Structure 1
Amino acid sequence: MLGMSKSIFRRLLFSFLATVLVGLGISGILLSFFAKEYIYNTKQEELLRLAKKVNTAIYDSNKINKQLLDKLAMLDESFDTRIWLFNENGKIVATSMKDEVFTGKSVAVSIADSVLKGKSAVTELQIEGLEDPMLSVSVPWGKGENVYGGIILHAPIEGIERTFGHMRESILWATLFGVVLSTAMVSYLSWSISRPLRTIERTAAEIGRGNYVERVKVDTSDEIGDLAHTINTMAEKLEKVEQERHHLEQVRNDFLANVSHELRTPLTAIQGFLEALQDGLVEEEEARQKYYAVMYSETMQVNRLVDDLMDLMKLENNEVNLAKFPVNVGEVINKVAFSFRAEAEEKGLQIAVELADELPKIYADKDRVAQILKNFVKNAVKFTEKGEIRLIAESEDNWVRIQVVDTGIGIAADDLNRIWERFFKVDRGRSKNNKGTGLGLAIVKELVELHDGKWSVESSPGHGSTFTVWLPTITAIRQTS
């Protein structure tokens, strides 16, 4: 991560420095160019205006005398600029400064020709004996067609160049300040980016090692914060997937263990009885018949287990197609009660049916509804030693509520949420005489869901249980379709 931090720092630094240097460089060049042009133009226009004023003051005099020189000196002091006069030959004949060394020197021929033709000239004047150029303007000396020569007003360029030098120095210092500021900003930005990225990297590494409870703690609302939120969401999903995987693995192991156990018990009994019969250890016919009866019972137990497993697998794989028609709930309940009445009476139990008046029909698979009720009643008979079992059906809004109420041993609160699991038995270790596959309620749950119904259970140890299912009426189906 440190390498990435350095890479980010370098890229940000080079980007910022390039932006600062190019921006300030271009700005400095443009500023210098336009400022210089503006200053030059302003100075030239000012000199040109003053030169015309000088001509206005001396255009009626073409002779160099003390009066003219005094007037030039006065104008020099007033305008704060040097004034030269040159004749038709381009020779400097008078200046506004006493003891001027340039008297007698010549101006450029092109300037002299332009001025003598009545035109003004603006140029950097080159004077013989003067190394440094001057910003100068030249205007005709005279009036109308009477041109005696030219008037030159000039200012040294040295001052203007000094101004430009200060400007360039200021731009240089601004550039250096920009470089320092950019470095500081890049350092902060690099730190603010690399710090949460290091946190994200550490968390991602932990998640990669299987620690799905790890979360990224980044308190930013930018793209890095979005990345952290995405990684946290991914970790949460992976954690759920891992938990589901563990759960499915546990369910698979429990399933195999339960199937092995449920098969081993009857098969062991059958094997033992068969070995006894084969070895001739059972000689009496009555004893053999008892052995046959036990083997038949154990065989039926294995057969029920296989049938329940097949039903459950088909239900969970959505391979069961319901044949739904209008069903008279009361008729189904009465048939189920009748089928268990003999078994219940053997235990001294009573099965009562309580049906509400004008009970609406439900839209369901009649055989599967009977299967649901049989599983409930079978458990009620199995776990009830005394009292009664009641089958109740009532109308509730767009549902028909069916309840199976018993006075049996009840179910502990910790087991209420687990009774719908495959192979879970509330009587495990409590009663060895009650046999079952432990799949009945799991099948009930799948069948009720397949009918778009609901289910619930209320129970407490020693006070019996109440199993309830709600199945939709024909009216409800028509309203939703």
Structure 2
Amino acid sequence: MFSERVSQVEADATVRFNAAQQAFNEGAANTIDQAQQLANTVVRETRTNALGARAVAVFLLRNQQAVAGPEINDISLVSNAKEVVISPQLQAAVSQGGEEHQYWQSQEIVNDDDVPVAALAIGKQVNLPVAHNYAMYIVYSLEAEERTVSTMLRTVVAGSISLLLLLGMLIWLVTYRVLGPVQGTAQAARRLSNGDFDVRVNVRGHDELAVLARSFNNMAESLQTTIQEYDELSKLQQRFVSDVSHELRTPLTTIKMAGEMIYDARDDFDPLAKRSAELLHDQVERFDTMLADLLEISRYDAQAARPDFEFTDLTALTETVMSDAETLALKQGVVMRLHAPQYPVRAEIDEKRIERVIRNMVVNAIEHAESKPVEITIAEDNDAISIRVRDYGIGMTEEVSAHVFDRFYRADPARARTTGGTGLGLAIATEDVNLHDGKLEAKGEPGKGSAFMMTLPRRHGGTFKQPALQLWEDGNLLPKKSSKGRPAALPKQFTAIDNPSSKLPSPPSASKTNGVLK
């Protein structure tokens, strides 16, 4: 619309400028007064003729670049408007453009009702007799076009509002009739995933949504039945383990007593019988350990485990475990190093159970270290205490790491134990740590070793956001910084190898010499 109006105004202005120039050329004016009179007449005629194109003003102004000479007074005739001016920018463009070109500019004027409206001002140079170089400007109102645009905008806005209301009603209808059942099914699925196996979806109609609801209900019912069957099997298994463990305790005690008597008298036997007595003693001890583990697992299954919490120095507890494991470490050719703060690291724990966890991690690391060092690191922060045991032996794959805490799980033959484990040690350790609201983690890489880390809250019933150590660190295994501004951890070597040809790395220079246990 604006472009059409510009074309219309330009065409009308061209006609008016040509007519004005022709009148100036044919006018008989030999003096400046005659030129002034002729200019007044031409401007009035131009305004009258341009009224049909809604012209509101005609100006005849001295050209800004005109040479000095006779001048007439500037003329301005304004109708149907109050404030109309020609901008300096348009005057400059016309004065520099020559007599062949006309220029236009959109602007704002004030009509008779004191309302600002849009307008177009068009200018062109004209040549007057005697006075010579002047410029004529015609201002055309765009008020009608502006009203049309405003009406169209109001119509569009009203239509848009109506359309939005209609769309809103349609969306609400679709949401209620279509998405509502889908959302209900999604909520039921979330409840089902959270363990609510009694949840069902209301079935309405016979469309695809009804088919979805019936399929969900069938799935939930099937899943509930399967879970109940597994739960019954699990209870049966737990009861079987508990019953067998208790029933075997009495005969095993008798067998153990008889085996110890035979073992004590083994030196009186011939070599073959002596070896048999030793094998009998070892297997009875292993069976006793397995039975003890089964009894402990049955206590957890029956939720009969009752921890005895008290504040304990975990550094001292770890040193005790390492001292007890020294014989095994010497046998395996392993150096154990302890990295711990030089002050007591205390937490509220069941000492017996946590000692069992630490012992399990340390012994497991020694057995799979392949005569390489075992690093035990203790670190703390405001909420948690972490104990990490790291070896550099054969390591383990991600699949093994994912199942290493499962009951009776045994890894590949390359990780065969030397102490005849039961396959329950790490499972019991997991239950012990869970009893403390802690976390037990494991990670390994084939050929790079394994790391086991236990993280416990400092107080019973406490929580923590993250461990005080990283589980897997290829570089420096020491804590990155000491906690609470206390002295940082220093390595302490616990097992010395007397073999001078050993290729084990020597302890760091910061190690305590009095930390070596002989």
TM-score w.r.t. the length of structure 2 is 0.41
Task: Indicate the structure (1 or 2) with the bigger Cα radius of gyration.
Answer: 1
TM-score w.r.t. the length of structure 1 is 0.44
